[in-house]
């Protein structure tokens, strides 16, 4: 996807603060954090949203969810919130599947 911000971040064409990368997934800090720690996990392959996923994405989705507590712990979080916004009505602004992970501070934002 030539005009996708997160594809460009995956390819290194847009700078980001990367905290993790493997053959399937990249994680980087959100540019507008809503908590002291706030990062996004994205698949390297372009998938628009959770609504476009099917059984073939099961391994990838499982991998990202299992990665969340590991990366959160590495970032110093004892607990965290995950969020996957799906579709305009779900608050999604970037149409490349991503899992928000955020935490730290005294109160957790809900959006
Ligand atoms: P959504 O609303 O689609 O779930 O969340 C998109 C997230 O991507 C937002 O939290 C926003 O701050 C973040 N974001 C948008 N553009 C960029 C960017 O260029 N770099 C980084 N690191 N984050 C971005
Ligand atoms: Zn993309």
What are the 10-residue block averages of pLDDT along the chain, 111 residues in total?
93 98 98 97 98 98 98 97 98 98 84 61
Closest ligand 1 atom number to CA of residue 100: 4
Q: Assess whether the C-beta atom of 15 lies below 6 angstroms from ligand 1.
A: no
CB 101 within 8 A of CB 39: yes
| Stretch (H or E) spanning 63 | helix 58-74
Cα 83-77-35 angle, rounded to 5 deg:
55
Question: In this predicted structure, what is the pLDDT of residue 111?
Answer: 61
Active-site positions read: 98
Q: Nearest Cα to 44, choosing from 84, 11, 79?
A: 11
Q: What residue owns the CA closest to ligand 1's atom 20? A: 31
Closest ligand 1 atom number to CA of residue 14: 19
Question: In this predicted structure, what is the pLDDT of residue 101?
Answer: 98
């Amino acid at each position: 996807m030539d005009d996708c911000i997160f594809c460009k971040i995956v390819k290194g064409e847009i700078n980001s603060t990367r905290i993790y990368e493997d053959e399937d997934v990249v994680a980087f800090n959100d540019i507008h954090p809503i908590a002291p720690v706030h990062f996004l996990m994205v698949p390297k392959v372009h998938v628009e949203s959770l609504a476009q996923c099917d059984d073939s994405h099961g391994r990838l989705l499982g991998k990202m969810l299992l990665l969340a507590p590991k990366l959160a712990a590495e970032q110093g979080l004892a607990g965290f919130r995950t969020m996957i916004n799906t579709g305009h009505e779900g608050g999604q602004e970037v149409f490349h599947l991503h899992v928000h992970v955020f935490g730290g501070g005294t109160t957790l934002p809900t959006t």
